[in-house]
Structure 1
Amino acid sequence: MGEVVPVQSRYTATVFVDAKGTVSLWSPQAQALLGHPAEEVCGRPATDLLARQEDREAALAARGLQPAGQCWNGVLALRHRAGHEVQISLRVRPVLCAQGQAGWSVDAADARQVEQAEVDRAILEALFSQSPISITVLDTELRYLRLNATTERDATVAAEQLIGRRVGYGAPGLDFQAIEELLCQVRDTGEPAIGFQFHGRPPSDPDRWHVWSGSCFRLTDSADRVLGVCQTYVDITEGWQAQRRLALLTDAGARIGTALDVVRTAQELADTGVPGLADIIVVDLLETTVRGEEPPPGPVGGQWLLRRAGIRSIHEDAPAAAHALGDRVAVHPGTPQLRCLETGQSVLMRTPDADEWSTLDTRIIEKIREFKIHSLMMVPLQARGIALGVATFGRYREAQPYDEGDLALAEDFCSRAAVSIDNARRYTREHTTAVALQRSLLPHDVPRYPAVETAYRYLPAATHAGAGGDWFDVLPLSGARVALVVGDVCGHGLHAAAIMGRLRTAVHTLADLDLDPDEVLTQLDDLVVRLAEEDPDCEGSTCLYAVYDPISRICTFARAGHPPPALVQPDGAVEFLDDIPAGPPLGLGGLPFETAQRHLAEGTLLALYTDGLIQAPGRNIDVGFDRLAASLAHCSRPLDQLCDAMVTSLVPEHRPDDVALLLARTHALADDRVASWELPLDPALVGHARVLAGRQLDAWGLESLTFTSELIISELVTNAIRYARAPIVLRLIHADSLICEVSDGSLSAPHLRRARYNELGGRGLFLVAQLASRWGTRYNRDGKTIWAEQSTEVAGLIVETSLSSS
């Protein structure tokens, strides 16, 4: 017959059947349920409403067998007035009187509605007794009407004490002001609020910070009158922490390792972890790591010196640690830091244990007490099995100590940072080596030359590219001339520096041969082509080669794909020598180079540079030339000061390319410092040449050089008359040294040889080489010039030595 359950408001229709089974009362709700009006049903047997014959027979049989006073619940199929069946849930109760049973009271409802009501009741009961989600029902004044068991457990207050209290009562660790404003908005507008978050420390767990996700909606009755608000919320602390840790790791991946700088990367680790992971972070690196050296593999031992490379605290105005950034920190045996470095394992100190914390440095203990740090994590920084340093994480703002999840996150942080620090360390080592090699290959101190006054600067790139192939040189040539060179090898690092060294060595050799600038570039081009054949990574080079003659004041230029030099007249006018044929970069091979000449006034300033001085990312090259011209406008100042000012104004701090700058202010050699005579092809005039030279040396006050000079002139003039052809010119130049030159119209090359003891000749050039500090031969279109240079400071010593040895 079915389960007997309490009948509540789900039964909407009422019918009375008398003792004979005849319907005597038919309510309007019954008419709405089955469609029959009361006049059609009253007076008829109740079994006529049953849709199935078997149900009628069972009902008639049961009526005689049903015990007196027995209730019955069940579902029967009744016939609707329209003819179709309707499943009706019935509750039949006997109606008794003094004479016995007077009939039956029947409550009826649509079976589907009754079933849905039962499901709703079960759901509602489960929500308020079993659901893990907190549910509260509030009236229009936001007072508790009903709450489930989860809410009662979280509040640690009995439900009876909360009913009638305003929302937030019993949860002093939570800020309900914002929640009240939201609940009022939902109550007044009817718009539900879904997925809002709030946080705090619940009474059930006051030492831990919790996060909840809540939703609320308005409650109304069938007449759309506002009854109150229902609020649900669930603790999402674990998921929120996982999401926060993932966000911190994502942020760490983007912020740590942005530059190949060891200290900067350590500081990025500290900056990224505060305040999300710690209230204070201190990063200490081994001295070898900071210097870019290769630390010894395996665990460390004994006392170690670290350097404080990164500090970050939530209190920006407070000292973050016992040592300032950059200070050296001694790590003693027995301390957690050294144990962390030795074992490569993290150290988690959840509570201030007296025995363990006492091993820390006393100044660190003072800071721990000052900030009330209650929890520490010390995580090693390791990469490729090499110890690089240790990071210390401290917490004092949040009462909950660090747990294993926090330690795992800190280890992920440090693992990412250690890889970046190791890359930066290795780059620092390579960068330091490349810069050292680059600087060792560049001139350390350019000597003073009578032709020019020079100043120079070289700055390696400040980016990850490091030192490159930019170079310059100032080379003395015969005849008091000087060569000014600047070049730029493509690429950066050790490879570019090595190629630059080979090019600079080649330029020195070619300068000694006194080749014209275009011929020098041709020889360099051939060299770069050969280097590219040997090494595919050799990408080529640019070069500018200039030769200045202080006697004629003519400067001859040739360039191979290099930016044009800047020329500043004595009056301050600046121009770029674009008329010098640009020529192809070195390494293309087979293409010619051309020269251009300029007559320079005394005091003219030449600026030779590499493209790093004028180029910058996002800036037009014309802007770079304009800025360079503006920086050269004040050329009257000393060249060293001018170099500093140009570097400051033109070169950015984080320069993407290395920079070479060479400034040269030209000087002219006075006419009275040069003497020249044309000699006929007559051996008898060799003595006359000695007389002319002796008189000129007397006039210059160089009597101490007369003897050696006459010997040199005799040999050079004699060789020219004997083996060469006219015209023969003798020239003396008094610069910082004495230069003797003999020119002739022959292109035959003289050779130095050692004469046998029984030979009468062959000792001329050998004698010249012994008496002169430098000597050589240069060629021109009309012949050659043999020159010998004598230092005025050591002339007397050379004479005495030569006489005594003879």
Structure 2
Amino acid sequence: MGTDAHVFLSDLARGLEPRADQLVDVVLQHLLSELPEVWKYEDIAAVAPVALSQHIAAILDFLERGLGMTEVRTPPAAIEFACRLAEHGVPISELLRVHRLVHAGLLDQLNKETARVAGSQELVNATTLTLSAMAFDYADRTAEQAVAAYQRERDRRLQRRLIVINEAGTRIGTTLDTARTAQELADLGADHLADLVTVDLLSSALQDEGTYPETGPETLRRIAQAVSDDCPDLAAVTGRTHTYPEDSEPARVLATGQPSRLRISADDVPPWLAMSADHEPALRALGPRSMLLVPLWARGSPLGLAQFIRRQTAEPFDDDELLLAQEIASRAAVNIDNARRYTQERSTALTLQRSLLPHHLPDESAVETASRYLPSGSRAGVGGDWFDVIPLSGARVALVVGDVIGHGLHAAATMGRLRTAVRTLADIDLTPDELLTHLDDVVIRLQREEERDTDEISATCLYAVYDPISRICSLASAGHLPPAVVTPPTTDDDASAPRAVDFPELPVGPPLGLGGLPFETAQLELPPGSRLVLYTDGLVQSRSRDLETALALLRDLLARAPASLEETCDQLLSALLPSRPADDVALLVAQTTALDADHVATWDLPRDPAVVSKARAHASDQLAAWGLEALDFTTELVVSELVTNAIRYGKSPIQLRLILQSALTCEVSDASSTAPHLRRARVFDEGGRGLLLVAQLTEHWGTRHNHEGKVIWTEQLIPASLAEESSALA
């Protein structure tokens, strides 16, 4: 043995080669005692001895052959060891510590062997210095290569994590549907993380807000389940409800909001994992090995639990995968909560809106009506569309359709306020343009009452009044689409001939809420059997076609619409709308009738007190002709009082009119705009009680103004027996 240190180290390495396995065992035991947490991963524990064996063999070969540093290569198993650490999220500091402990342990063994076999202290010292320098250079070189491999694997895993997170952003929450969102979470987890993914939501989270919570253990409902491609299909258990024992791990996760990672052996499957006895064999056949329990929390409240399960053939979950599962579960929880809140608000708004819309349209002899309301199927939510049919005096009827701009509870509530305002103004018997002017003022007042951060209130409205006696329809529009007017064929010979359909050119005023701009009333004379089709813009406006195309299609449909109004409504909705309309739709179809001339009697009266008795006689004779003698006393009193007031306080011309419909209407008109009013007569007053008697003896009474003056009217209900007799006489 020479005195040269390099020659000595070469000989030393050659002599240690047969005992390399002993060196591996010594260094490995040292690592196990120093870094026990690294070996909890089975794949790391399996590759570590191989990596250590290759490392020691490479070092001995390096010393024996005296290689240069440029020729040093980290053994493949050591590179794999570094990659496995990166895969499991083990910090890089642990990799460097392992590397340092391996080289320190091996250097210690080499120094001990040098001291044992060297012949002189001088050789020991020279060899120790040379060995230390070479060992540090070798350790730096191989550590650099191991760290580079670790970083590449770490970057790849981070990139994969970002890819999955980005994919979660596009795949989860595509709809505002709670069950669909939960299924999207399960599908994504089965594609990238686990063999089986289940999503359970608390029953309380699926209930409407404000309901009382259930007593006893919290129940959950299995909302979604998904399996990976190479996993056998399991029987679907979605829709089932279950509970977790209070001392179980899922119950703890739900209560604390902290995730949990579990290892499961084939002989020790947790009893709470199976929802039922018939579900347990399928789970055992799956062979669960590792499990993540991730809570679904949003806005500080628990919503449910997601379970990610891997089979025996897969690696157990590591810290990075737990963080990834938390990330996608957190995104899903927010989307589930948004969907839940949207569903609750939509249900509330829809219930509110349906409660504000008329449940049953009144039976009117002036028109036959059919209607539909269809809420939107988009994320915009329920809107503020409405329609109404309002009986008016003189056998007339008002038809209304409107649309509050916006969606949600606010729009539905505003719609209810405007519908109430329209009915109140209609009771005053205003002309359509006057009614819209007052309704415009109502909207402006509502705007002033609203908070500053809320959307400005605006609405459109179409108000029409049809008179079956004159067959005149008076309309006014506040920014609303004109109605479709459908007239029947000119001859009765060909009932199957197409009807004429027209969209009259009405003077369209501004939407409600602008203020200061006028509205105009247009008048149409309608043949008997005509149809008025009133609708909101959701019926004809669409992204897939322009307004002109939609109106042309509506014209064609109405021209050959069936005789039934209900069938007409259904046909229009099915032909014009997609399965999920983007906006609310209100549709009102009214078929007009003309009141028979035999049901109307009119007398022009001079302004002479002596004519009052003649007016009573005219009314009495007409009631006899109609077979309504039983109403003679009340009618004569009403005629006497109204005609007397017109002569005393009104202006010529004065007219008396009786109308026989479902009720008996008595009208007295004059050219004065002064309206009478009820007053309380004092004990010794000789007058002032006539109008009070009229109000007590009739069902309804009121005043309406027109361009010629005013009309005082009363209505008396006709008993069913008398109505049948009068119909037979008519």
What TM-score, normalized by structure 2, do the two folds share? 0.74
In the other structure, the counterpart of 1:168 is: none
Residue 315 (structure 2) aligned to one of 378, 400, 404:
400
In the other structure, the counterpart of 2:73 is: 127
In the other structure, the counterpart of 1:485 is: 400
Residue 323 (structure 1) aligned to one of 237, 241, 252:
237
- Superposed, which structure 2 residues align to 1:86-105 within 5 Å? none
Residue 219 (structure 2) aligned to one of 280, 305, 314:
305
In the other structure, the counterpart of 2:192 is: 276
SS of the residue corresponding to residue 305 of structure 2 reads: strand
Is the CA contact (8 Å cut-off) linking 1:605 and 1:635 kept in structure 2? no
* CA separation of 1:327 and 1:130: change in aligned 2, threshold 3 A: closer
In the other structure, the counterpart of 1:196 is: none
Alpha-carbon distance in structure 1 between the residues aligned to 2:191 and 2:403: 47
Q: Deviations over 1:359-407 (max 9, x none)?
A: 3422432331343444333322111221111222233384223333322
Q: How much has 1:747 moved relative to structure 2?
A: 1.3
In the other structure, the counterpart of 1:443 is: 358
Is the CA contact (8 Å cut-off) linking 1:248 and 1:276 kept in structure 2? yes
Alpha-carbon distance in structure 1 between the residues aligned to 2:566 and 2:219: 40
Q: How much has 1:477 moved relative to structure 2?
A: 0.8
In the other structure, the counterpart of 1:425 is: 340
Alignment of 1:773 with 2:687, yes or no, is no
SS of the residue corresponding to residue 523 of structure 1 reads: helix
Alpha-carbon distance in structure 1 between the residues aligned to 2:400 and 2:66: 94
Is the CA contact (8 Å cut-off) linking 2:446 and 2:457 kept in structure 1? no
SS of the residue corresponding to residue 393 of structure 1 reads: strand
Q: Deviations over 1:342-370 (max 9, x none)?
A: 33233433214656612342243233134
- Superposed, which structure 2 residues align to 1:31-46 within 5 Å? none
SS of the residue corresponding to residue 640 of structure 1 reads: helix
Alignment of 1:661 with 2:579, yes or no, is no
Alignment of 1:567 with 2:485, yes or no, is yes
Alpha-carbon distance in structure 1 between the residues aligned to 2:233 and 2:709: 78
Alpha-carbon distance in structure 2 between the residues aligned to 1:656 and 1:331: 42
SS of the residue corresponding to residue 632 of structure 1 reads: helix
Question: 1:258 is matched by which residue type in structure 2?
Answer: T
- Superposed, which structure 2 residues align to 1:584-623 within 5 Å? 584-623=510-549
Q: RMSD between aligned alpha carbons?
A: 3.2
Is the CA contact (8 Å cut-off) linking 2:403 and 2:460 kept in structure 1? yes
Q: Deviations over 1:256-281 (max 9, x none)?
A: 22333322222221222222122332
Q: Deviations over 1:124-175 (max 9, x none)?
A: 74237689558xxxxxxxxxxxxxxxxxxxxxxxxxxxxxxxxxxxxxxxxx
Higher strand share: 1
* CA separation of 1:578 and 1:602: change in aligned 2, threshold 3 A: closer
In the other structure, the counterpart of 2:255 is: 342
* CA separation of 1:129 and 1:727: change in aligned 2, threshold 3 A: closer
Q: Deviations over 1:735-758 (max 9, x none)?
A: 111111111122111011121222
Question: Number of matched residues?
Answer: 585
Alignment of 1:467 with 2:393, yes or no, is no
Alpha-carbon distance in structure 1 between the residues aligned to 2:231 and 2:698: 71
Please, which runs of 5 or more residues in structure 1 have no aligned partner?
A: 7-118, 135-231, 797-806
Alpha-carbon distance in structure 2 between the residues aligned to 1:334 and 1:322: 27
In the other structure, the counterpart of 2:472 is: 554
Residue 677 (structure 1) aligned to one of 590, 598, 603:
603
Alpha-carbon distance in structure 1 between the residues aligned to 2:231 and 2:577: 34
- Superposed, which structure 2 residues align to 1:244-263 within 5 Å? 244-263=160-179
Is the CA contact (8 Å cut-off) linking 1:694 and 1:706 kept in structure 2? yes
In the other structure, the counterpart of 1:689 is: 615
Q: How much has 1:714 moved relative to structure 2?
A: 1.7
Question: 1:242 is matched by which residue type in structure 2?
Answer: L
Question: 1:713 is matched by which residue type in structure 2?
Answer: V
* CA separation of 1:684 and 1:619: change in aligned 2, threshold 3 A: same
* CA separation of 1:788 and 1:626: change in aligned 2, threshold 3 A: same
Is the CA contact (8 Å cut-off) linking 2:486 and 2:530 kept in structure 1? yes
- Superposed, which structure 2 residues align to 1:7-156 within 5 Å? 122=68, 125-127=71-73, 132=78
Q: How much has 1:415 moved relative to structure 2?
A: 0.9
Alpha-carbon distance in structure 1 between the residues aligned to 2:545 and 2:244: 49
Alpha-carbon distance in structure 1 between the residues aligned to 2:6 and 2:293: 65
Q: How much has 1:430 moved relative to structure 2?
A: 2.5
Q: How much has 1:761 moved relative to structure 2?
A: 1.2
Residue 201 (structure 2) aligned to one of 264, 285, 289:
285
Q: Which has the larger radius of gyration?
A: 1
Alpha-carbon distance in structure 2 between the residues aligned to 1:592 and 1:542: 14
Alpha-carbon distance in structure 2 between the residues aligned to 1:524 and 1:647: 29
Residue 438 (structure 2) aligned to one of 523, 543, 546:
523
* CA separation of 1:712 and 1:301: change in aligned 2, threshold 3 A: closer
SS of the residue corresponding to residue 733 of structure 1 reads: strand
Q: How much has 1:590 moved relative to structure 2?
A: 1.4
SS of the residue corresponding to residue 275 of structure 1 reads: helix
SS of the residue corresponding to residue 679 of structure 2 reads: coil
Is the CA contact (8 Å cut-off) linking 2:266 and 2:284 kept in structure 1? no
Q: How much has 1:721 moved relative to structure 2?
A: 1.9
Q: How much has 1:234 moved relative to structure 2?
A: 9.4
- Superposed, which structure 2 residues align to 1:739-754 within 5 Å? 739-754=665-680
Residue 497 (structure 1) aligned to one of 382, 389, 412:
412
Is the CA contact (8 Å cut-off) linking 2:266 and 2:288 kept in structure 1? no
Residue 507 (structure 2) aligned to one of 570, 574, 581:
581
Alpha-carbon distance in structure 2 between the residues aligned to 1:285 and 1:626: 49
Alpha-carbon distance in structure 2 between the residues aligned to 1:548 and 1:320: 65
Question: 1:307 is matched by which residue type in structure 2?
Answer: R
Question: 1:369 is matched by which residue type in structure 2?
Answer: R
SS of the residue corresponding to residue 480 of structure 1 reads: coil
* CA separation of 1:723 and 1:130: change in aligned 2, threshold 3 A: closer
Is the CA contact (8 Å cut-off) linking 1:776 and 1:786 kept in structure 2? yes
Q: How much has 1:123 moved relative to structure 2?
A: 5.3
In the other structure, the counterpart of 1:544 is: 462
574-583 or 465-474, which deviates more: 574-583
Higher helix share: 2
Is the CA contact (8 Å cut-off) linking 2:176 and 2:343 kept in structure 1? yes
SS of the residue corresponding to residue 167 of structure 2 reads: helix
Alpha-carbon distance in structure 2 between the residues aligned to 1:293 and 1:562: 36
Q: Identity of aligned pairs, percent?
A: 52
Alignment of 1:369 with 2:284, yes or no, is yes
329-338 or 362-371, which deviates more: 329-338
Alpha-carbon distance in structure 2 between the residues aligned to 1:316 and 1:750: 87
Q: Deviations over 1:447-489 (max 9, x none)?
A: 1111111111222222222122211111111111111111111
Alignment of 1:648 with 2:574, yes or no, is yes
In the other structure, the counterpart of 1:384 is: 299
Q: How much has 1:503 moved relative to structure 2?
A: 1.7
Is the CA contact (8 Å cut-off) linking 2:501 and 2:559 kept in structure 1? no
Question: 1:639 is matched by which residue type in structure 2?
Answer: L
Is the CA contact (8 Å cut-off) linking 2:232 and 2:286 kept in structure 1? no
Q: How much has 1:336 moved relative to structure 2?
A: 4.4
SS of the residue corresponding to residue 359 of structure 1 reads: helix
Q: How much has 1:580 moved relative to structure 2?
A: 0.5
Alpha-carbon distance in structure 1 between the residues aligned to 2:565 and 2:659: 27
In the other structure, the counterpart of 1:707 is: 633
- Greater length-normalized contact order (CA 8 Å, ≥ 6 residues apart): 2
Is the CA contact (8 Å cut-off) linking 2:387 and 2:402 kept in structure 1? yes
